[in-house]
Structure 1
Amino acid sequence: MTTKLSLANLSKLPKGVAVPAYGRAALKAGIVHFGVGNFHRAHQAVYLDDLFNAGEGRDWALVGAGVFEGEKAGRARLAEQDWLTTVVEQDEGHMAARVTGAMIDYLVPGDTAAIIDRLADPAIRIVSLTITEGGYFIDPASGYFNPEHPDIVADANDPEHPKTVFGLILAGLARRRGARVAPFTVMSCDNIPHNGRVTSDGVIGLARLFDRDLAIWVAGNVAFPNGMVDRITPATGDRERGILAKDFGVEDAWPVFCEPFRQWVLEDKFPTGRPALEKVGVQFVPDVSPYELMKIRILNGGHATIAYPAGLMDIHFVHEAMQEPLVRGFLAKLEHEEIIPTVPPVPNTDLEDYYRLIERRFSNPKIGDTVRRLCLDGSNRQPKFIIPTIADRLKAGAGVTGLALESAFWCRYCFGTTDSGAVIEANDPNWDRMQATARAAKTDPLAWLAMEDIYGDVGKAPAFAGAFSHALNTVWGVGARETLTWYLAGSL
């Protein structure tokens, strides 16, 4: 017997499921959020739910928004349950379910007029984003905004009818400027180095293409705080819906499963105010950079490290990859020898303790995070999570054997088959290009490094090119398992 999630049924949910301690009528919108996916609902929405439960900040409720047709399906699921979400935290010794109610509306994705109207509303003081790495129009090689992207060019040519998040943000800001309403703060919650600066570059960069006065006004008046976010949150499928129904008696069309751990570090730059999130565990600091570099290199770089060899070895779940001694050993050796040495000190943090925490999190058998998810979108993720570490190692004249092997595993994965011959389905927005290049690299490894928009100068460095070529030839010659054996033995 299950109970369908809705406002009317909150009091009917089983006693083991926590529900909001506030009523929907007590909330007022203060934040428009673009990208209502699993991570947002397990992270920002949970922190706000905690704050509302504590009786504070109830004028900071969320309004969802989006730009893609595919987002309408998620909106429809949430609409049927009054924008409520069940969040299930679990690890080996812990499993708990709670219903969050921090979102009070979700604008129809693509409804430009309605979204701009809401952005212009003086009650909206923050616009937040989880639009993934690919949503920022970053040139992978330079790390800077690409004003020549077709979607950006289209918005610049028709700013009254924007199709991108940046275009919508500018339309909302332009209307507020005209009405003499203070601008909202733009807060990225995406896993990108210097995400505030990157967002600022994109918004201002687009404005420069069609209205330089607006660009100057945005640069002088709009805050873009940097932030570091962290919580492992896999995709939702029938498995998760089934566990929620069986173990908790809740019927939720789009629940979120996640680990108990969460972290959010933010710069305190909110001229028009912000919720008191420090009361529910958010760290406000003068400079986020040390925290984000630690997380991006050790955690996200670690995910990439285990993902591609595990994918080639037909391992399905991340915790299963961590149970494979070769994969776990690869992670430990590469982290300690090449990745962690590039991470500067972080306030009040021991990097070895942080690494051990990452190991435990990756090994959590309850999350059901998949290797395929970690392998997703390498063309956008590798230039942020791996290649800068290679560049720093080369600059220091240090070895790159393990990092070259990680790149070789990525290249081999993009060929499109595992070592057993199983087909790897498309797993990158640029899959056709990546697969064609990986196939050329089978006989000419340097073809992979010739993707300058991804590797930049790193691909031209003789030390890295030689290590990569040797690693890729070895992976093709003996397979992932034997290659890892040789690497761990120091004989690669």
Structure 2
Amino acid sequence: MSVRLSAATLEDIAGKAAVPGYDRAKLVPGILHFGVGNFHRAHQAVYLDDLFETGEGHDFAIVGAGVMPSDAAMRDKLAGQDYLTTVVEQDNARTSARVTGPMVDMLPVGDAAAIVEKLADPAIRIVSMTVTEGGYFIDSDGVFDPSHPAIAADGQNPDQPKTVFGLIGAGLKLRGERGIQPFTVMSCDNIPHNGKVCRNAVVGTMRLSDPAFADWIDQTVAFPSGMVDRITPATSQREIDHCRETFGIDDAWPVYCEEFKQWVLEDDFPAGRPALEKVGVQFVPDVSPYETMKIRILNGGHAIIAYPAGLMDVHFVHEAMETDLVARFLDKLEAEEVLPIVPPVPDTDLADYYALIKRRFANPKIGDTVRRLCFDGSNRQPKFIILSILDNLKAGRDPVGLALESALWCRYCRGVTDSGKTIEPNDPNWGHLVERAKAAETDPMAWLAMSEVYGSLKDEPRFAKPFADWLAMLAEKGTAATLKAYLGEG
């Protein structure tokens, strides 16, 4: 018999899963977090839960906030279970469940006045976010775009902001008016130099309405960069049922994730921070080597396997790794065009790191889907793949395999797998991508002309020529035959 997750039922659940050993009634909010999705609850919230269990950091509990319709649905689900979350960690050899409790509230979604007022609370010393790679309004060169309609609207109505960055700016301004020290702004998204990117978004938004205050933010507020890592699939009815049937916990939105997790942070928190180093967070002067390693090898690796697997109707990521052609495509491309251009990382062997990544991809218990990895390529490709292409070109290396990865993405965006199965929309810009992919059937440069993704790469023959050749081969012979050709077997 299952038990509905709530504060009142924790004693009953204790026999089924680990539950908070600290008194949640004594927690004090010190962090406001935008984007309370699965990754946040499997990563930052778990680290805080670990810390709270040691008896420390109880003044850094989490208050959630959001601006998207999906945030409202999440708030309803979490409020119904007192903001508790069941986190199920799945390794090849074990599966375990724990209930985490560092989140104590979530503000009404889209209520600018309530969010700004909470941002001005002196107890809030860190504002963190997981708003996805596409949520920072940046172009293919990583430059903030102040002309985006959502940002322009905040510039015209700074007292009624609707974006995360407009809200953060308004909160900082109200704190300044009240003589309160600014909070630290901490991005937890998979973007190179995410602290700098986040700074540019906040400063760029505020510059539209108050240039002097924007300069003050730029000079005064801390935006530490960080590298975050934990494979966390989306929750479906499959996970909800598994949680109830396996652990007897009826959770409206449990989080399933791998056992591995990593967090590397620059130690720049003038307003104070929890002692997360006591629970495994690495604090370093410069996070750049770590984030480059992770984004190029892991996130890039996800993209490398995603599109051929998607075109070959492979459903789960571990099944993609069991597909010989896909696995060998990953090995060859990582060895020849990714690992060689990743700068050295302190105390890290890149070959060992890649071996770990492969084991994580192959974990059959995670249930991560190929479709999730294929999602939002228009925002992910510039961060995870294009940078590797550019670095290969700078190093005098021809990115032949990365050109194939781009051709596979293009072919995927036609919206039909090799077997003729329809691919449902899987990108915020899906309609535009389908139109471009179909045009590329006769003119490959129509795809590379997306400057927001490729910059000027269409004018670089060392990339454009192999891209066009691979795209033609995919159209004529299909994914499997094209992978064989790349691997030297046809």
Question: Structure 2 length as normaliser, TM-score?
Answer: 0.99
Q: Give runs of aligned pairs for residues 308-323 of structure 1, distance below 5 A.
A: 308-323=307-322
CA distance in 1, matches of 2:481, 2:450: 28
Counterpart of 2:420 in 1: which secondary structure?
coil
| TM-aligned CA distance change 1:338 to 1:490, over 3 Å | farther
Does 1:2 find its partner at 2:2? yes
Q: CA deviation at 1:459?
A: 2.3
Greater CA drift, 215-224 or 191-200: 215-224
Residue 41 of structure 1 corresponds to 41
Q: Does the aligned pair in 2 maintain the 1:7–1:82 contact within 8 Å? A: yes
Residue 148 of structure 1 corresponds to 147
Q: Does the aligned pair in 1 maintain the 2:18–2:98 contact within 8 Å? A: yes
Gaps of 5+ in 2: none
Counterpart of 1:87 in 2: which secondary structure?
strand
Q: What code does the residue aligned with 1:63 have? A: V
Q: Does the aligned pair in 2 maintain the 1:14–1:248 contact within 8 Å? A: no
Residue 107 of structure 1 corresponds to 107
Q: CA deviation at 1:488?
A: 1.1
CA distance in 2, matches of 1:217, 1:338: 42
Q: What code does the residue aligned with 2:282 have? A: Q
CA distance in 2, matches of 1:277, 1:37: 21
CA distance in 2, matches of 1:57, 1:393: 44
Residue 209 of structure 1 corresponds to 208
CA distance in 1, matches of 2:443, 2:367: 37
1:221-264 deviations in Å (ceiling 9; x for gaps): 10000000000000001100111111111000000000000000
CA distance in 2, matches of 1:173, 1:399: 47
Residue 62 of structure 1 corresponds to 62
CA distance in 1, matches of 2:132, 2:189: 6
CA distance in 1, matches of 2:198, 2:139: 13
Counterpart of 2:7 in 1: which secondary structure?
coil
Q: Does the aligned pair in 1 maintain the 2:16–2:248 contact within 8 Å? A: no
Residue 359 of structure 2 corresponds to 360
CA distance in 1, matches of 2:353, 2:175: 43
CA distance in 1, matches of 2:92, 2:264: 26
CA distance in 1, matches of 2:408, 2:273: 43
CA distance in 2, matches of 1:450, 1:490: 31
Residue 343 of structure 2 corresponds to 344
Residue 32 of structure 2 corresponds to 32
Q: What code does the residue aligned with 1:145 have? A: F
Residue 245 of structure 1 corresponds to 244
| TM-aligned CA distance change 1:385 to 1:49, over 3 Å | same
CA distance in 2, matches of 1:204, 1:323: 46
Counterpart of 2:87 in 1: which secondary structure?
strand
Residue 458 of structure 1 corresponds to 457
Q: What code does the residue aligned with 1:259 have? A: E
Superposition misfits of 4+ residues, deviation over 6 angstroms:
none
Greater CA drift, 411-420 or 213-222: 213-222
Q: Does the aligned pair in 2 maintain the 1:2–1:250 contact within 8 Å? A: yes
Q: Does the aligned pair in 2 maintain the 1:387–1:458 contact within 8 Å? A: no
CA distance in 1, matches of 2:356, 2:69: 38
1:144-195 deviations in Å (ceiling 9; x for gaps): 1001100000000000000000000011000000111000000000010000
Residue 256 of structure 1 corresponds to 255
1:450-470 deviations in Å (ceiling 9; x for gaps): 111110122210110101000
Residue 381 of structure 1 corresponds to 380
Residue 446 of structure 1 corresponds to 445
Does 1:488 find its partner at 2:474? no
Q: CA deviation at 1:69?
A: 2.1
Q: What code does the residue aligned with 1:187 have? A: M
Question: Structure 1 length as normaliser, TM-score?
Answer: 0.99
Q: Does the aligned pair in 2 maintain the 1:229–1:265 contact within 8 Å? A: yes
Does 1:132 find its partner at 2:94? no
Q: CA deviation at 1:23?
A: 1.5
1:410-455 deviations in Å (ceiling 9; x for gaps): 0000000000000001000000110000000011111111111110
Counterpart of 1:99 in 2: which secondary structure?
strand
CA distance in 2, matches of 1:345, 1:278: 23
Q: Does the aligned pair in 1 maintain the 2:84–2:99 contact within 8 Å? A: yes
Residue 475 of structure 2 corresponds to 476
Counterpart of 2:256 in 1: which secondary structure?
strand
Identity of aligned residues (%): 64
Q: What code does the residue aligned with 2:412 have? A: Y
CA distance in 1, matches of 2:311, 2:473: 14
CA distance in 1, matches of 2:280, 2:29: 22
Q: Give runs of aligned pairs for residues 249-288 of structure 1, distance below 5 A.
A: 249-288=248-287
CA distance in 2, matches of 1:250, 1:269: 39
CA distance in 2, matches of 1:14, 1:23: 15
Q: Does the aligned pair in 2 maintain the 1:393–1:400 contact within 8 Å? A: yes
Residue 402 of structure 1 corresponds to 401
Residue 89 of structure 1 corresponds to 89
Does 1:74 find its partner at 2:69? no
CA distance in 2, matches of 1:160, 1:269: 29
Q: What code does the residue aligned with 1:347 have? A: P
Q: Does the aligned pair in 2 maintain the 1:390–1:458 contact within 8 Å? A: no
1:259-301 deviations in Å (ceiling 9; x for gaps): 0000000000000100000000000000000000000000000
Counterpart of 2:86 in 1: which secondary structure?
strand
CA distance in 2, matches of 1:16, 1:6: 14
CA distance in 2, matches of 1:213, 1:420: 58
CA distance in 2, matches of 1:182, 1:91: 43
CA distance in 1, matches of 2:320, 2:352: 21
CA distance in 1, matches of 2:303, 2:236: 23
CA distance in 1, matches of 2:16, 2:424: 39
Counterpart of 2:412 in 1: which secondary structure?
helix
Number of corresponding residues? 490
Q: CA deviation at 1:490?
A: 6.0
Q: What code does the residue aligned with 1:120 have? A: A
CA distance in 1, matches of 2:69, 2:238: 25
Q: What code does the residue aligned with 1:15 have? A: G
1:301-329 deviations in Å (ceiling 9; x for gaps): 00000000000000000000000000000
Gaps of 5+ in 1: none
Counterpart of 2:456 in 1: which secondary structure?
helix
Q: Give runs of aligned pairs for residues 188-203 of structure 1, distance below 5 A.
A: 188-203=187-202
Counterpart of 1:246 in 2: which secondary structure?
helix
CA distance in 1, matches of 2:76, 2:207: 36
CA distance in 2, matches of 1:69, 1:324: 37
CA distance in 1, matches of 2:142, 2:264: 22
Counterpart of 1:153 in 2: which secondary structure?
helix
CA distance in 2, matches of 1:99, 1:460: 53
Counterpart of 1:386 in 2: which secondary structure?
helix
Q: Does the aligned pair in 2 maintain the 1:19–1:99 contact within 8 Å? A: yes
Does 1:335 find its partner at 2:334? yes
Q: Does the aligned pair in 1 maintain the 2:131–2:189 contact within 8 Å? A: yes
